[in-house]
Structure 1
Amino acid sequence: MEPVRIKCGFANGIDIGAMGTRGGLSLGWNGNFLIMLKSFSSFHINVEVHDNECGGCWWLTGFYGNSNERCRNDSWNLLRHLNYDQSTPWVVLGDFNEITKYFEKKGGRLRSERQMKEFCKALEDCGLNDLGYISRWFTWERGRFVATNIREWLDRGVATLDWMSLFPRYQLEHLSHSFSDHCPILIDTLGQEGMIGVTK
């Protein structure tokens, strides 16, 4: 994962290797941050950011939702577990492997209403709000021909209201993908001065 992070332009980072040919997480950043690793697994990287710009402390989690639908609830329970200190501003970036509404998917079979509701409930339980995005709407794509093309908004950023208040000028961008079928996510906290990216 380190070569991917460096190719995306992030000199600093924490990389979790893939198990076999799939997975792997990378959390990269530029800027003058003091980052303290709190916990990690094959499905998350959780850090505490001591931010010199805002003079405060906040949490950042790089997240990977289980690609196996039967294990997706384990991912939502992990997210709830990571939400143990509700007083600290928190932002979560990553590939959740799930959508919240039907229009976030184009092509392929319909997503289960139950699956989407369980994802939305986990975000609600954790007080996490979608950060929106600029650039392309989908972050994952498969199939080169119109008849077989599937596009989905699987990668996103979500945050607590406290984090959004701390960085009112934040902007989240879906970058172009060339080495993966997922788009890397770039979050700009301070107008090009403080940027953090997550790739999978």
Structure 2
Amino acid sequence: MKLIKACNNFIILLVEKYNGRFWYIVLFYGAPSVHMRASGFLDLEQWIDTCKLPFLIVGDFNQVDYQCDKLSASQQPIEGAEEFNLWKLRNELVDIPFKGPRFTWCNNRKGEKRVYERLDKAMGSKDWLSLFPDMGLKHYPIQISDHAPIEVDLNLTCMAGKRPFKLDAWALDFEECLEKKAEWNAKWDDFDRQLEHGINLACNGGGEEEYTRVNEELQAYTADAEKFWKQRAKIKWTVGGIPIQNSSLIG
């Protein structure tokens, strides 16, 4: 990949496909306020007007497209939605179809103050979709953050598989990390299933109790794991003679 442009709202990277075809990926972040968000869309549109290659835009747009992409006690019109959809039409952008829970963001409040929205999405130019006809977008359940992870898969047939387990390089020094790989995979898969079930219940009028319960269990699990691994890291680095204050792992 090659960095082409970086600004407050987006980063543009040039990507080379295996067969020698080039295309762009745009990592986008929409500003929280409608006024500032419109400015970011306009800046990107100016780049699109000059773009000669296929491109994909993915990220947190901070903008709901349609009423069905928002769940809340309020039924007020969605601010900025009309302008956003006109922007997509004007630039001939095609939404990437997704699998998984509909909503990718929650304000984590309770009762009637809770809001779900689909803010994280991907869209591509027509020639990009022609380049990757089997691609798709996967929504994972909302976990630690208020946003859900999303994954663009260039081969839709591979999406049915489990999310790959990844370790940072530092973890390779800990035999315990490798030993616990299967346990962590199973635990996170279980949390994923329960969270998705809880969100589906809440979205269909079944209440938010199940989602809240599982989310609190996940928060406790990750907090305990963080404490354990910080302590293990301190022991490891003390034995190895590495100053703790020079490491980004220890907060």
Q: What's the RMSD between the two structures over aligned residues?
A: 2.1
The equivalent of 1:63 in structure 2 is 28
Structure 1 alignment gaps of length 5 or more? 1-34, 196-200
| Structure in which a larger fraction of residues adopt helix | 2
How far the C-alpha of 1:153 sits from its partner, in A, is 0.5
Contact 1:43/1:66 (8 A) holds in 2:
yes
Contact 1:130/1:157 (8 A) holds in 2:
yes
Give the Cα separation in 1 of the matches to 2:82 and 2:143. 32
The letter of the residue matching 1:115 is: G
The letter of the residue matching 2:101 is: R
Q: Secondary structure at the match of 1:77?
A: helix
Give the Cα separation in 1 of the matches to 2:87 and 2:44. 7
Give the Cα separation in 2 of the matches to 1:170 and 1:180. 26
Q: Which of 140-149 and 155-164 deviates more? A: 140-149
The equivalent of 1:38 in structure 2 is 4
Q: Which of 157-166 and 86-95 deviates more? A: 86-95
The letter of the residue matching 1:62 is: L
Contact 1:79/1:122 (8 A) holds in 2:
no
Return the match for 1:155 from 92, 107, 120: 120
The equivalent of 1:97 in structure 2 is 62
The structure with the larger Rg is 2
Matching of residue 117 in structure 1 with residue 82 in structure 2: yes
Q: Secondary structure at the match of 1:179?
A: coil
The letter of the residue matching 1:186 is: E
Q: Secondary structure at the match of 1:138?
A: coil
Give the Cα separation in 1 of the matches to 2:28 and 2:77. 22
The letter of the residue matching 1:107 is: S
Q: Residue deviations 1:112-170, cap 9 Å, x none?
A: 45611110111112211111210000000123533221000111000111111111110
Contact 2:137/2:153 (8 A) holds in 1:
yes
Contact 1:63/1:93 (8 A) holds in 2:
yes
How far the C-alpha of 1:81 sits from its partner, in A, is 2.0
Contact 1:80/1:125 (8 A) holds in 2:
no
Judged with a 3 Å threshold, the aligned counterparts in structure 2 of structure 1 residues 69 and 81 are, in CA distance, closer, same or farther, namely same
| Structure in which a larger fraction of residues adopt strand | 1
Q: Secondary structure at the match of 2:64?
A: coil
The letter of the residue matching 2:8 is: S
Q: TM-score when scaled to structure 1?
A: 0.72
The equivalent of 2:14 in structure 1 is 48
Q: Percent identity?
A: 26
Contact 1:79/1:126 (8 A) holds in 2:
no
The letter of the residue matching 2:34 is: E
Judged with a 3 Å threshold, the aligned counterparts in structure 2 of structure 1 residues 100 and 45 are, in CA distance, closer, same or farther, namely same
Judged with a 3 Å threshold, the aligned counterparts in structure 2 of structure 1 residues 106 and 114 are, in CA distance, closer, same or farther, namely closer
Judged with a 3 Å threshold, the aligned counterparts in structure 2 of structure 1 residues 183 and 111 are, in CA distance, closer, same or farther, namely farther
Structure 2 alignment gaps of length 5 or more? 164-251
Matching of residue 138 in structure 1 with residue 103 in structure 2: yes
How far the C-alpha of 1:100 sits from its partner, in A, is 1.3
Give the number of aligned pairs.
159
Give the Cα separation in 2 of the matches to 1:186 and 1:166. 18
The letter of the residue matching 2:2 is: M
Matching of residue 127 in structure 1 with residue 59 in structure 2: no
Q: Which of 183-192 and 121-130 deviates more? A: 183-192
